[in-house]
Structure 1
Amino acid sequence: MVDDVRARLARRGGAPTSSDVTAAVRASGVMLGSRALAELDVAVRAELLGAGPLQVLLEDPDVTDVLVNAPDEVWVERSGRLVRAPVDLGTPARVRELAVRLAAAGGQRLDDSSPTVDARLPDGTRLHAVLPPVADGCALISLRVLRRRAFTLAELVASGGVAPALAPVLRALVLTRANLLVTGATGSGKTTLLSALLSVVPDDERIVCIEESGELTPHHPHVVRLLARRANVDGAGEVPLAELVRQALRMRPDRIVLGECRGAEVRDVLTALNTGHEGGCATLHANAAADVPARLEALASLAGMGREAVAAQAASAFDAVLHLRRDGPRRYLAEIAVVRRGPAGELVVEAAVTVAAGGLPVRGTGWSALAMRIGLGAA
């Protein structure tokens, strides 16, 4: 029934309404009660406009990721754990069809000549898909759900994401306009923490957020957002993050925020933070705070920057690194470090506070420098 009605509406074209679904059911000669018709309406419109059988998973408030490995192998990350979902997509051909349709909804092409895609769906969901034969056997679909609600620092403390003793330190870093680099592995909570920190920014400041997928959700009255754009199916129209950083400088920002450093745009971020734009923030994928120098050097090399130039600019651009760790379902702030240059001019990230296994903060050798930066003296 769903396939028949979907085919009729697809031939009709346009975005179907509930009335269109009802008319298509009547045209098929099938009589349905009001409840069955309502369920069919949801299913058909999810097929044509949403993620089909996956749509109900994307709407689950506890789900952060939906992963399709095969028609009958769908996984979700719910409350920090991967579990199988009771969803069957039918056949590999249907999975491929869904992947192609989702890519098109994100303005991207997915076919045999272009078998991989990264896209942002209209609702903000991040899509990654791979077609066979690059994917072995069946098309692979990965969906990262965008959650619009911003958590406060108090809520992160209550949930165990931030040690109680560190909340005043984080607040002081924001209010003293320190430039912050939030780091961690995939899914460690970087965006969640950064949104909470931006919610602490005074209301009379203007925040310009630069992102690929619009994930930051600060609770703040004056936030404007610039979203990068990939080239369209014809290879035109790309607007990269680096260009948006340059545009943000002309928008009278009090704080510039880069959702994620992942390429040559790191050069423009370092330049911006070294030209009087204090209180800026960025996120970076790194497995440990100690890995940050190497990660910055690797990304900056894409923009033609040498190691010495990166060390000089990064040491003056960033005041602190906030590193998050993921331990099973738990995501927490594991370390606050200061950024400086070493005796040989190299970039050094020195631990100021680390969170021990029991959840208690332990001061490191960088504590004095951090305390001075936020006005605590050497206390």
Structure 2
Amino acid sequence: MTDPLTVRVPLDGARAYDILIGRGLIDAAGPHLAALGGRAAGIVTDETVAPLYAERFRAALERHGLRTSVVAVEPGEGSKSYAHYARVCDALLGMRIERGDLVVALGGGVVGDLAGFAAATLRRGVRFVQVPTSLLAQVDSSVGGKTGINSPHGKNLIGAFHQPRLVLADTAALDTLSEREMRAGYAEVAKYGLIGDADFFGWCEANWRGIFSGGPEREEAVAACCRAKAGVVTRDEREDGERALLNLGHTFGHALERIVGYDPARLVHGEGVAIGTALAFRFSARLGLCAGQDAGRVANHLALAGLPTRLQAVPGGPGDADALLDAMAQDKKVRDGALTFILARGIGQSFIAPGIDRDAVRAFLQDELAAG
């Protein structure tokens, strides 16, 4: 194992933490977690990740004196529910996890959100470590302290900000992902360039295949995304302003996830983000904010990487314009009933656009649905 790359999240005081990025970190996790203190680690994972990594991870921690137990949930968004949250909390309490111990999320974004929310509320706050095993989690959801579960009313509507003490991004874990999962995670990689770094988006256009194949581009991309997110989180930890930019594509994407009932057979998060990002750029072009050429460039790149960019790509259909608008009404960025979108003046020039007229969104969606 070569020395990992390190990205610092420089929050105030003791809340600052490191993101370590490299191959082999799951097997080398023991000294990193032991250095945080505590006598025990409650490991939350899912039934897909557990057979691959749970025993190796447990052994790595126990070699350095940590008592460990594992709770595994079903994979997929369905586990971000009240019932699974209660089950995880009860399991961690049954493990005798104390405030000075660790709750560890070993898995993708769903596990991170669920375990993080449990850590935030268990005994009014237990220390938390992220060990993300998906590309999406490594570049986005494991960093920044947003945790939560879903409600029948919408995604991530119950949660808390609870920063991790450490993030270990083992890029070798991505070797076991399906091609679909890699593509879905890549939507979040491209997003960082589209938000505020046109040069990084250009780099992605030239190097995305190396990210997928596991070349040095993979670590470089994860580190670049983590540096970008660390900067945003440091400036706006609780999403009072700039951090909302990280939701580019998510207003449309979360609505689509809700429409399909969070069914991964029909749509996974990154696919919804890809469609939503393409829609956000086409909507921006329609409003005269950015060039149609930029919207086309974004959609073409996402499609080249194997991602969907049209509403019609949702298996079983995305519903009608009114159904999509109703789903958007539960978005966390809604203020006083008015829709807020992340729109763009060009590649790398995204901005927060509050108070978007619902009729304009409805007309746009109707035209998108009719485009075929």
Task: Please indicate, yes or no, whether the TM-score normalized by the shorter chain is above 0.5.
Answer: no
- The one of the two structures with greater contact order (alpha-carbon pairs below 8 A, sep at least 6) is 2
Q: Name the structure with the higher helix share.
A: 2
Which structure's CA Rg is the greater one?
Answer: 1
Q: Name the structure with the higher strand share.
A: 1
**TM-score between the two structures when normalised by the length of structure 1:** 0.32
